Chains A and B, each alone.
Chain A
Amino acid sequence: MLKIEDLQVKLGDKEILKHIDLEINPGETHILFGPNGSGKTSLLMTIMGYPQYEVVSGKIMFKGEDITHAPIDERAKLGIGMSYQRPPTINGLKTRQMVNLCAGEEIDEEALARRVNFEEFLDRDVNAGFSGGEIKRSELLQLMAQKPDLMLFDEPESGVDMENITLVGNTIGELLEKHFHPSKDRSKMQAKADRTKMGLIITHTGFILDYVSADKGQVLYNGKLSCVSNPREILNCVGDTGYEECVRCISTNSLTSLS
């Protein structure tokens, strides 16, 4: 379980996350909405542990451990992983090698790559000259090898062409154990209850909701989380009236102070 309590975060001198509370239980997937610059990526980077995001107060608990100040690699080892929107290029490191590094052991990277239609990129340097959609598939491939328990997705569908959107959507669904099936001794509901993978997905378009059933949606606006609701409803609300109207549920006072 991920549990964030009253988290306040600064980037440089700027306060970018304000009193964030968030709880993701095993098997749950949450969707994060919000306009550009509202702090969505910052929240993901803070959970991942990027040191430039300075936690001023509050705490982050994962699997019962306080990881508020833990370095990135410790969090990764504990089971947190991230799919980046714009990851850096690592010159001279082949995607093939990267996938094995993610797995922490020698694996059949060809077979894994085939699942995201990425075999022909294995001998290219990580992210070097990749298009938006190629980056997304590369990130998914790395997560498939890494197998984290909590996956943070930063706009996983942006830049992905129509041909690959289903592939990307279904792969995320698989990573998050959305395709659970009843078996002889487990009912469908039991199989659902057995799931442990957690997801936090940033999306603007909501395309991902066609492939991944999400438990909760939230809007991050000016560094504050609000509107815990069904993600479809949030999407419709934002689509109809825009973010500002949608977050009126945050008290008028605090909105005034933010603007």
Chain B
Amino acid sequence: MHIDEQSDQFELKAKAAIDKKGAIGPDVDLSAFDATPSPHLEMADDDLRSLPKEEQERLLGAGLDVTEKERGGTFLQMNTNTVHCHSSQEGIEVLSIQKALAEHDWVRDYYWKLADVGADKYTAAAELGLHDGYVIRSLPGSKSVYPVQACLYMHKDGMQQNVHNIIVAEEDSELHIISGCATSPHLKRGLHVGISEFFVKKNAKLTFTMIHNWAEDVTVRPRSVARVEEGGLFINNYISMKPVRSIQMYPTTHLVGEDAVARFYSIVVGSPGSEYDLGGRIFLKAKGTRAEIVARAISNGGNMIARGHLIGEVPDIKAHLECKGLLLNGGLIHAIPELEGHVDGVEMSHEAAVGKIAQEEISYLMSRGLSEEEATSTIVRGFLSVDIPGLPPQLQAEIDRAIEESDKDVM
């Protein structure tokens, strides 16, 4: 199909979905946000480093280190356009999606190929009013040593940010990405709409770690879909420790090639007044595929729904779902684990638990000399620390840091 024809079709489908509510999660009134593009000047390395300290800290809270130490590339979008974008590793490409769509035809092979542009009003908004986003690709056989860092930053109060990201790990390549979202300390209200499409090709390995660092009155509606081919590995981590108004996402992954593996880990702390509807589903469509979903949720008074859905369509697949919730200070945790086995020979299991910290554990630590407060925070930190096999040390360090940082907020 000709590119223009394809674009017309996306536009038509998007227009038809412009008022379509999301399948799950509270509805968002898009007219309450300002989606007009507000161009931001490009920033060189030095400009990044001369950002105000408080802004730098917000970025760092979402995993973007302006010093670029131990990073293999950087993408930064401010409000509605890309301000910084480069790769320092051979075989790893980092592009803005607007530029990529304008200059590289191959991007069209991925754009809206997994996510449905007509899914709901958010996918429609991302098509009809696309601001920017990133395309990150590892070429066949290339290995990223350091993770690429990407951040979508909002600082204009009341704005709506529409982004579309495409991540491609070509055959036999290895790609690590830390992708953060953050808001300026001056932004009170905002809406982030983000489409992400992940392509993990034959025997490729992709780790994607997303850190959310939002503000109290920010609404977030990501829509993402991944496809993993034969022998591919997709590790997807999600960390959100800061308050947010409402976030709803339900990423879908299709394991389409033999022995493809997907592992999802999420660590979420729900603050009072925050509403979360999180989780994802994984389709196991080929022999030998494996899937694992591990979720940790702490509520400090937030409303949290933790979903997980595993669908085994063929024999000789293995899938496990683990969801643990800790109620620290009121709120609600609603765990919804689902298993669907369609044929003989699937091996699927789940464990879900919601509760409070066991007094026995606190007493045990107190008998080793810790105060009650120290014992509690030690247990909470342990609860949040999840071993993620195959994660580069830099990314594990980012996750550990996010947990350490949030310690004072959690307690």
> CB distance B379 to A73 under 8 Å?
no
Residue of A nearest to B358 (CB): A88
The interface-forming segment of B144-152, B368-376, B389-397 is: B368-376
Answer yes or no: A87 CB below 8 A from chain B CBs.
Answer: yes
| Interface size class, chain A | 20 to 34
The verdict on A93 contacting B379 (CB below 8 Å), with A77-B369, A101-B370 known, is yes
A146 to B371, CA, bound (A): 15
Answer yes or no: A20 CB below 8 A from chain B CBs.
Answer: no
Q: B345-362: contact bitstring with A at CB < 8 Å (1 yes, 0 no)?
A: 000000000000010110
Residues of A contacting B: mostly:
mixed
Answer yes or no: A12 CB below 8 A from chain B CBs.
Answer: no
> CB distance A146 to B368 under 8 Å?
yes
Q: Which residues of A contact B371 (CB under 8 A)?
A: 73
A110 to B371, CA, bound (A): 25
A56 to B158, CA, bound (A): 62
Answer yes or no: B382 CB below 8 A from chain A CBs.
Answer: yes
A3 to B241, CA, bound (A): 49
> CB distance A101 to B379 under 8 Å?
no
Interface residues of A in 212-246 (CB under 8 A from B): none
Interface residues of A in 110-137 (CB under 8 A from B): 125
Answer yes or no: A72 CB below 8 A from chain B CBs.
Answer: yes
> CB distance B365 to A90 under 8 Å?
yes
Residues of B contacting A: mostly:
helix
Residue of A nearest to B379 (CB): A90
The verdict on A76 contacting B382 (CB below 8 Å), with A50-B363, A88-B358, A88-B360 known, is no
Q: Which residues of B contact A82 (CB under 8 A)?
A: 367
> CB distance B383 to A81 under 8 Å?
no
> CB distance B367 to A48 under 8 Å?
yes
> CB distance B372 to A76 under 8 Å?
no
Q: Which residues of A contact B358 (CB under 8 A)?
A: 88
> CB distance A92 to B386 under 8 Å?
yes
The verdict on A87 contacting B364 (CB below 8 Å), with A92-B381, A92-B383 known, is yes
Q: Which residues of B contact A125 (CB under 8 A)?
A: 382
Answer yes or no: B88 CB below 8 A from chain A CBs.
Answer: no
Q: Which residues of B contact A64 (CB under 8 A)?
A: none
> CB distance A73 to B369 under 8 Å?
yes
> CB distance A76 to B384 under 8 Å?
no
B249 CB to closest chain A CB, in angstroms? 25
> CB distance A142 to B381 under 8 Å?
no
Q: Which residues of A contact B372 (CB under 8 A)?
A: 71, 73
A136 CB to closest chain B CB, in angstroms? 15
> CB distance A90 to B368 under 8 Å?
no
Residue of A nearest to B382 (CB): A92
Interface residues of A in 56-89 (CB under 8 A from B): 71-73, 75-77, 80-82, 84, 87-88
Q: Which residues of A contact B375 (CB under 8 A)?
A: 73
Q: Which residues of B contact A198 (CB under 8 A)?
A: none
Q: Which residues of B contact A90 (CB under 8 A)?
A: 361, 364-365, 378-379, 382
Answer yes or no: A98 CB below 8 A from chain B CBs.
Answer: yes
The listed residue with most A CB atoms (<10 A of its CB), out of B361, B364, B378, B386, is B364
The listed residue with most A CB atoms (<10 A of its CB), out of B366, B385, B386, is B366
B411 CB to closest chain A CB, in angstroms? 16
B402 CB to closest chain A CB, in angstroms? 15
Q: Which residues of A contact B385 (CB under 8 A)?
A: 92-93
B17 CB to closest chain A CB, in angstroms? 42
Interface residues of B in 61-115 (CB under 8 A from A): none
Known: A76-B366, A90-B361. 6 other contacts (CB 8 A): A48-B367, A77-B369, A81-B368, A88-B364, A101-B365, A101-B370
Spell out A's residues near B (CB within 8 Å): 48-51, 71-73, 75-77, 80-82, 84, 87-88, 90-93, 98, 101-102, 104, 125, 142, 146
